[in-house]
Structure 1
Amino acid sequence: MHNDSILHSNIQSLVKTSLGESIISIELLPGAGSNRHYYRVYTAHNSYIVCNGTQVDENKSFIYLSNHFYNKGLRVPKVYGHTPEFNMYILQDLGNTDLLSFKLQSQEHEWLPLYKQALTDIAQFQCKGIEGLDFSHCYARNEFDSVYMNWDLSYFKYYYCKLTDIEINEQKLEEDYNTLISFLLQSPRSFFMYRDFQSRNIMLHNNELWYIDFQGGMRGALQYDVVSLLYQAKANFTEKQRNELLEHYLNQVSKYMYIDLQEFKTLYEGFICIRILQTLGAYGYRGIIQKKPHFIASIPQALENAKQQCNIVSQIIQIPYLQTLIQQLPLISNTHE
């Protein structure tokens, strides 16, 4: 209770200093995948979102990137202020409706144009948003390179594979990881990569799409963000829908540069593979280890996606052990201890 009192006092002070307004009430918002805590604060005439996060470098990245994109006219929340220690900041309130929630309760003719708009917008982030961006502000790493790819694949190994009873041949798995990484590194990485561009991080507010949770962004390849959106397990697109949305994206991004479509689509298959494996690791960690229900619910579809995609990629590059391993992986659930 004492800690709550201190926290509320700190929020009150931040709002007063940044906006000159007094708080009437504070509401803790439901948590998602991170250790950050979000609060909706109400003043006499407005509401705002306050983020309280212990990872100062992550907070600094978000504030820098949000200001950068906001100044370029991209729809990101305005940052109104932050504490001197960067452990708390105050944002524009974008409401409660994310794009995934909207999709799951609406018809295709309602949600499909919004996903096309999101893909139009991500092309802007990637190609225009990068202009003048200082990647030294990226807190995790400034480029999606071989080191970061290896981290993602290790996430899958330790937080999914090793939660099962399957014996892993570390050497063979490492060889196939290196083959996949070498393949992915053929793609140009001179764009802003949002990193977690999925529909829970896209808010539908006043009939417009707004973008959040980009603090993990870095320099990277175009394909990754498209994959993140179209292969989100819970979104559960049909192949026809994915193809239509991919073609829309390619039409949009081609306005900024020449795209070799055959090369793009071949490498795209590899990025689908690494993204799905990374998310399986994330679902294992957030769902099984941390016991967060909506991550557990996403595991079955993600595992099925991984099995299908690894078969496709194995027709392009030689990853025999990884392919066999994924086909053998069982479904893990919240009964795991």
Structure 2
Amino acid sequence: MSVICGADPEVKDKEIPLALQSIGGDAGFRHYYRIQLPDETLVAVNAPVETEDNHTFVHIAEAWRQGGVRVPEVKAVDYINGFMLLEDFGDTQLQSVLSDQNVDLWCQKAFATLKTIQQQSPESLLVYDGSLLHFELSIYSEWFLGDLLGLNTVISDLTALFSHLVETILQQPIGTVHRDFHSRNLMVVDQNELGVIDFQGALYGPLLYDSVSLLKDCYVRWPDEKINTWLQSFVSSHALLQQYDFEQVRQWFDLTGLQRHLKCLGIFSRLWLRDGKSGYLADIPRTFDYVIEVCRHYPELQHHALWLERHVQPILQQRLNAVQVEAGVI
């Protein structure tokens, strides 16, 4: 890669070659490269216009940055060809620094960041409505149950389950939602501040979605007692949520998390089956554990827990082992 510089008379109209260091991709179709400049590094993003909404990414980045959320500054953008230059947040994901000794402090910082996100104007955001929630649940039945495990997904149990989840989720207060707020999308920057990435899917929807995404993280598991303590602390200091009975909030939290984890089971399966990305297969058992635990806890969901115990648990690990061998992971 090279750039043409015209501002400095010493290098006017000269091409300066730049070395690109690949720093990987994500669950979408974007690819990232680090560029070393004389005084700083930047991140070059190849975000294909066929699959990525770069206008939305830039709009949210600029609005949230002005609103106090630490997101990467957009240095340059080419909407026609799908390229961006972003501020470099480094390589330190929150997940990599978490420990039993420091997780309480990091959780406080993450919740402070989340509250700032929830204060951002939802004016230009689409609504996270029942239709989208139902669509996301269909990814679970199609890709996880059907295509990965080979199970019959045309069962009335799923229809009733999905309707109950969506109805319950939509009862809670709404606000600005990041929609993928977890320990891999929070970067440790500067003096132990948290930077936020992967926010282009933000919507206006269920207020507890991001908190359950963080506390019931698909990539790291914490004891239930800690999750409950953190949630109580978040709710008690939240201007809207503190107005509700905590047991009601906890139900919204759990069922919102169930919807997310069912969706993630489908997405992780699709990433392998459709896109050839095997890196998320190892996160399926942890995510499945969240699902079955919530289904066992709530009486109205126990019939699905029983169905999972009979039809999914006996074959899940065997199927994952076979797929990971096929992928060359194990």
The answer on 1:125 being equivalent to 2:117 is yes
Give 2:308's match in structure 1, choosing from 326, 334, 337: 326
Task: Give the structure 2 partner of residue 264 of structure 1.
Answer: 249
Q: One-letter code of the match for 1:250?
A: V
Task: Give the structure 2 partner of residue 205 of structure 1.
Answer: 189
Contact in 1 for aligned 2:23/2:32 (Cα 8 Å) = yes
> Which residues of 2 match residues 156-175 of structure 1 at below 5 A?
156-162=140-146, 163-175=148-160
C-alpha distance in 2 between matches for 1:303 and 1:258: 32
Task: Return the TM-score normalized by structure 2.
Answer: 0.86
C-alpha distance in 1 between matches for 2:195 and 2:79: 27
Give 1:108's match in structure 2, choosing from 75, 97, 100: 100
C-alpha distance in 2 between matches for 1:60 and 1:117: 29
Shifted more, 248-257 versus 91-100: the winner is 248-257
Q: One-letter code of the match for 2:128?
A: F
Check 1:217–1:334 CA distance in 2 against 1; reply closer, same or farther (3 A cut): farther
Contact in 2 for aligned 1:176/1:320 (Cα 8 Å) = no
C-alpha distance in 1 between matches for 2:214 and 2:289: 17
- Give the superposition deviation at 1:259: 4.3
The answer on 1:335 being equivalent to 2:330 is no
Percent identity, please: 23
Task: Give the structure 2 partner of residue 93 of structure 1.
Answer: 88
> Which residues of 2 match residues 127-142 of structure 1 at below 5 A?
128-130=119-121, 133-135=122-124, 138=125, 142=126
- Give the superposition deviation at 1:124: 1.6
1:233-284 superposed Cα distances (whole Å, 9 cap, x missing partner):
3211111221222123213323897444332222112112101111111111
Check 1:16–1:22 CA distance in 2 against 1; reply closer, same or farther (3 A cut): farther
Contact in 1 for aligned 2:139/2:267 (Cα 8 Å) = yes
Unaligned residue ranges in structure 2 (runs of 5+): none
C-alpha distance in 1 between matches for 2:81 and 2:162: 37
Contact in 1 for aligned 2:295/2:302 (Cα 8 Å) = no
- Give the superposition deviation at 1:178: 1.4
C-alpha distance in 2 between matches for 1:202 and 1:72: 17
Q: One-letter code of the match for 1:322?
A: H
Task: Give the structure 2 partner of residue 254 of structure 1.
Answer: 239
Helix, strand or coil for the counterpart of 2:280?
helix
Contact in 2 for aligned 1:41/1:49 (Cα 8 Å) = yes
Task: Return the TM-score normalized by structure 1.
Answer: 0.84
Cα RMSD, aligned residues only = 2.5
Q: One-letter code of the match for 1:111?
A: V
Give 1:35's match in structure 2, choosing from 1, 7, 29: 29
Contact in 2 for aligned 1:25/1:43 (Cα 8 Å) = no
Contact in 2 for aligned 1:78/1:92 (Cα 8 Å) = yes
- Give the superposition deviation at 1:291: 3.9
Looking at secondary structure, tell me which structure has more strand per residue: 2
Q: One-letter code of the match for 1:55?
A: V
Contact in 1 for aligned 2:49/2:79 (Cα 8 Å) = no
1:54-108 superposed Cα distances (whole Å, 9 cap, x missing partner):
13652111110010011112111111121142611111100001011222xxx32
Task: Give the structure 1 partner of residue 165 of structure 2.
Answer: 180
- Give the superposition deviation at 1:123: 1.5
Looking at secondary structure, tell me which structure has more helix per residue: 1
1:282-327 superposed Cα distances (whole Å, 9 cap, x missing partner):
11112454343430111111112211111223x2xx3465333333
